[in-house]
Amino acid sequence: MSIVAEHPVTCGLTGSDVPYAADRITAFSPEWVALARGDQSGDASLLVAEVGAGRAAVDASHNSKLALRPESDRFLERLGRWLMRSLP
């Protein structure tokens, strides 16, 4: 997975931390920012957006730790903190 390092959600993480492109996000409007993409497909696996006063994220991986490629806890924490506006 390739990630955008210059974002509070994904900075300091590696490709193995972020959502695996199980379901591929193949198209999205410019309001969304893709923070993780599959190395080969180029399809996004994580989108974030500022929407009005709030924030939203679309995560293409499974939420369970039982998944074959679970997203890491430290990723989920960063994402959650960002969504709760505890990260810039």
Partner 1 sequence: MVGAEVKPSGLGPAALLGGLAVAAVSGCGARTELELAVRDDHDADASVVRDAAPLFDRHHRDREPDAAGDAGVVDRMGPVDGDSRDEVKAPEDGAKDATFDAGRDSPSEARDASIIDVARDSFPEARSDAAIDVARDSPPEAPDASDGANVEDTATETAVDGSFDGSTCDMLGQPARRFKIGVVESPAGVSYVLPDGGTIEAIADCSNRMTSVFGSYADVERIPLSAIDDRLPRYDLVVLCSDWAEYDWTSISPHAPAFTGYVTGGGGLLMYQPIRR
Does 1 bind partner 1 (CB under 8 A)? Our answer is yes
Nearest Cα neighbor of 56 from 20, 37, 32 is 32
Is 60 near partner 1 (CB under 8 A)? yes
Residue 30: its H or E element: none
Q: Does 4 bind partner 1 (CB under 8 A)?
A: no
Residue 20 as a binder of partner 1 (CB under 8 A): the answer is yes
The DSSP symbol for 20 reads P
CA distance 10 to 5: 6
Give the binding site for partner 1 (CB under 8 A).
1, 6-8, 11-12, 14, 16-17, 20-29, 31-32, 38-41, 43, 47, 49, 51-70, 72-74, 76-88
